[in-house]
């Protein structure tokens, strides 16, 4: 009988890891373990402690208590340089690349160790970059400037750097937040290749379908503590959600309970040469959620910006409540009754340093402060009403926007545009990067607004969200709307339309 080999030691182990910031306990004695050749998902609501745990692993923070073991080396804390030496790499939602440099220059800066006076071997640098890009399946020319790359391509460059550095532990923090379904599948293939090569991957995502498609085990954090580590095959979406939030969550995609009303928006043959949008025609009715699906670059956000007057249409006709309109600026759009919650809430949605009440009323200053009269009491009452109605979890209306979780920031951004009392609400990636509990709440709010008669256009790269929330689905490809499908359509039908494949 062959002798049984002892199990290999874990690549990474944390024991009783604790961390506090002032009076806030971010981690409360967390245990975590990562094996070679494993994808280990890390789940939890925003504020559960995931980011703090990752910062301990990458050396950005030192634990107040507990120990970390990497490659059989037990430490009380890491530094970023030591973490890199030990083979730990982190790929964030927003890649940390130099946009004005080429791909090979970014890879070289990350991987080469040389003195300022050493001559660069450009031929060797390019050859190394080409080989590493080939290993991760990235069809990217090494001399491409990073600023011209799409988000998934930039993430592939980050993975290339990790592979080139010989990383044994790779942390992926919300890597698919801005990717379409097809691009997610491409990324998954790379992750599986890393796993096959013996790399351990810590995978953080709010999209539960990704966890079941990719992960081997899952650890759930809640309020800074671990509530369990389980084999993914032993879990269901319902049990995972309950572990994360500590309660039953209402239906993730609330059903439509009323018929659509009169046509609010009619778009006919609309285009904008500068945006690459052409010949778009569709209509949206009162009480309807019209979903916009498509791959990154298909023109969904560009169409939203046209409707809101940021890049005005140069062809076609737009009608609002039966009247032709010309939307030449966001100010005109707001006056006409259009509202737009943009994709990037940190850049365009919420001003992090500004109080919540000022964030909520920014779009209606002329209304609440007529003739420059300062009516702070009216602003405060309006903010308190939205905080109550949207269930914004905050210290109060004067708390800064940056003190909120991602889901609550999204609610504040939504409140700003609801304050304008719009006829049509455009939502661009309304639940991107928010946890499952907040996602359920935001879906409930959107459905409630539709049931009150508001016309809604919802753009999302999360295909289950588009399928679950839309009454009708418009699919965009190459800057035009190729088809409109009924809500509840099969995912394969939507993807085939996005890819231009015949049905």
The arithmetic mean of pLDDT across residues 285-295, rounded, is: 93
Helix (H, G, I), strand (E, B) or coil at 47: coil
Q: For residue 186, what pLDDT is reported?
A: 77
Q: For residue 180, what pLDDT is reported?
A: 63
Q: Token pair for residue 42?
A: 């890390």
Q: Token pair for residue 52?
A: 């703090």
pLDDT at 134 over 70: yes
According to the per-residue pLDDT averaged within each range, which of 311-320, 339-348, 380-389, 404-413 is highest? 311-320
Helix (H, G, I), strand (E, B) or coil at 460: coil
Confidence band for 5, pLDDT divided at 50, 70 and 90: very low
Confidence band for 190, pLDDT divided at 50, 70 and 90: confident
Q: In sequence order, what are the beta bridge partners of 317?
A: 268
pLDDT at 19 over 50: yes
Tokens 């085939």 found at: 496
The arithmetic mean of pLDDT across residues 305-331, rounded, is: 94
Q: For residue 53, what pLDDT is reported?
A: 93
More confident residue, 436 or 17: 17
Mean pLDDT of the chain: 85
- Contact criterion met (CB below 8 Å) for 133 and 142: yes
Domains of the chain: 12-245 (3.40.50.300), 263-499 (3.40.50.300)
Helix (H, G, I), strand (E, B) or coil at 48: coil
Q: Token pair for residue 480?
A: 């035009």
Share of the chain above pLDDT 90, in %: 39
350-405 per-position pLDDT tens digit: 777 888 888 888 777 666 666 665 567 777 888 888 888 888 888 888 888 888 77
Measured between alpha carbons, how far is 388 from 404 in angstroms, rounded to an integer? Answer: 15
Measured between alpha carbons, how far is 208 from 214 in angstroms, rounded to an integer? Answer: 10
Q: For residue 177, what pLDDT is reported?
A: 66
pLDDT at 1 over 50: no
The arithmetic mean of pLDDT across residues 462-477, rounded, is: 90
pLDDT at 13 over 90: yes
Q: For residue 401, what pLDDT is reported?
A: 83
206-264 per-position pLDDT tens digit: 788 889 999 999 999 988 899 999 999 999 888 888 888 776 555 678 888 778 899 99
Helices first, then strands: H and E counts in the chain: 17, 20
Task: Return the number of other C-beta atoms located less than 10 Å from residue 285's C-beta.
Answer: 19
Q: For residue 2, what pLDDT is reported?
A: 47
pLDDT at 51 over 60: yes
Task: Return the number of other C-beta atoms located less than 10 Å from residue 165's C-beta.
Answer: 17
More confident residue, 337 or 151: 337
For residue 212, the surrounding DSSP H or E stretch is helix 208-214
Task: Return the number of other C-beta atoms located less than 10 Å from residue 216's C-beta.
Answer: 16
List alpha helices for 58-200, DSSP H: 80-85, 103-111, 122-135, 151-164, 181-196
Q: For residue 374, what pLDDT is reported?
A: 58
- Contact criterion met (CB below 8 Å) for 300 and 292: yes
pLDDT at 323 over 50: yes
Helix (H, G, I), strand (E, B) or coil at 408: helix
Measured between alpha carbons, how far is 103 from 148 in angstroms, rounded to an integer? Answer: 10
Q: For residue 356, what pLDDT is reported?
A: 86
403-443 per-position pLDDT tens digit: 877 778 888 888 888 888 899 999 998 887 777 777 888 89
Q: For residue 175, what pLDDT is reported?
A: 79
- Cite the beta strand spans of 295-435 per DSSP E: 315-320, 323-325, 338-341, 424-428
Measured between alpha carbons, how far is 136 from 421 in angstroms, rounded to an integer? Answer: 49
Measured between alpha carbons, how far is 266 from 323 in angstroms, rounded to an integer? Answer: 9
């Amino acid at each position: 009988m062959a002798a049984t080999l002892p199990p290999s030691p874990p690549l990474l182990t944390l024991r009783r890891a604790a961390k506090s910031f002032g009076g806030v306990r971010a981690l409360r004695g967390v245990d975590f373990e990562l094996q070679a050749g494993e994808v280990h998902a890390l789940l939890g609501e925003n504020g559960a402690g995931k980011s703090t745990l990752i910062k301990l692993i990458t050396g950005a923070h030192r634990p107040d208590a507990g120990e970390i073991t990497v490659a059989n080396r037990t430490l009380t804390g890491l530094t970023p340089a030591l973490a890199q030496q030990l083979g730990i790499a982190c790929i964030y939602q927003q890649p940390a690349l130099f946009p004005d440099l080429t791909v090979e220059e970014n890879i070289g800066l990350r991987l080469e160790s040389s003195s300022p006076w050493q001559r660069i071997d450009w031929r060797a640098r390019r050859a190394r970059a080409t080989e590493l890009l080939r290993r991760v399946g990235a069809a990217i020319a090494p001399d491409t400037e990073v600023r011209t790359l799409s988000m998934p391509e930039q993430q592939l460059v980050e993975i290339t750097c990790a592979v080139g550095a010989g990383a044994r532990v790779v942390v992926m923090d919300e890597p698919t937040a801005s990717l379409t379904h097809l691009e997610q599948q491409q990324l998954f293939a790379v992750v599986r290749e890393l796993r096959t090569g013996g790399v351990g991957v810590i995978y953080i995502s709010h999209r539960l379908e990704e966890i079941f498609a990719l992960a081997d085990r899952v650890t759930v954090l809640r309020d800074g503590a671990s509530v369990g580590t389980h084999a993914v095959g032993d879990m269901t979406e319902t049990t995972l959600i309950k572990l994360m939030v500590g309660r039953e969550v209402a239906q993730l995609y609330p059903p439509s309970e009323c018929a659509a009303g009169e046509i609010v928006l009619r778009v006919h043959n609309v285009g904008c040469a500068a945006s690459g949008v052409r010949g778009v025609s569709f209509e949206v009715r009162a009480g309807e959620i019209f979903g916009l699906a498509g791959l990154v670059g298909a023109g969904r956000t560009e169409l939203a910006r046209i409707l809101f007057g940021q890049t005005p249409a140069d062809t076609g006709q737009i009608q609002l409540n039966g009247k032709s309109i010309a939307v030449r600026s966001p100010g005109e759009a707001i006056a006409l009754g259009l509202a737009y919650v943009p994709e990037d809430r940190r850049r365009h949605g919420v001003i992090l340093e500004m109080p919540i009440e000022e964030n909520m009323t920014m779009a209606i200053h002329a209304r609440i402060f007529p003739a420059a009269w300062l009516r702070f009491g009216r602003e405060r009452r309006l903010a308190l009403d939205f905080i109550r109605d949207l269930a914004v979890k905050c210290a109060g209306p004067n708390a800064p926007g940056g003190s909120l979780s991602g889901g609550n920031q999204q609610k504040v951004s939504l409140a700003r545009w609801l304050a304008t009392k719009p006829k049509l609400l455009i939502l661009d990636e309304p639940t991107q990067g928010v946890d499952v509990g907040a996602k359920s709440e935001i879906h409930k709010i959107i459905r409630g607004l539709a049931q009150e008669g508001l016309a809604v256009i919802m753009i999302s790269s999360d295909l289950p969200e588009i399928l679950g929330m839309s009454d009708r689905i418009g699919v965009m490809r190459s800057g035009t709307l190729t088809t409109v499908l009924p809500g509840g359509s099969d995912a394969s039908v939507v993807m085939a339309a996005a890819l231009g494949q015949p049905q």
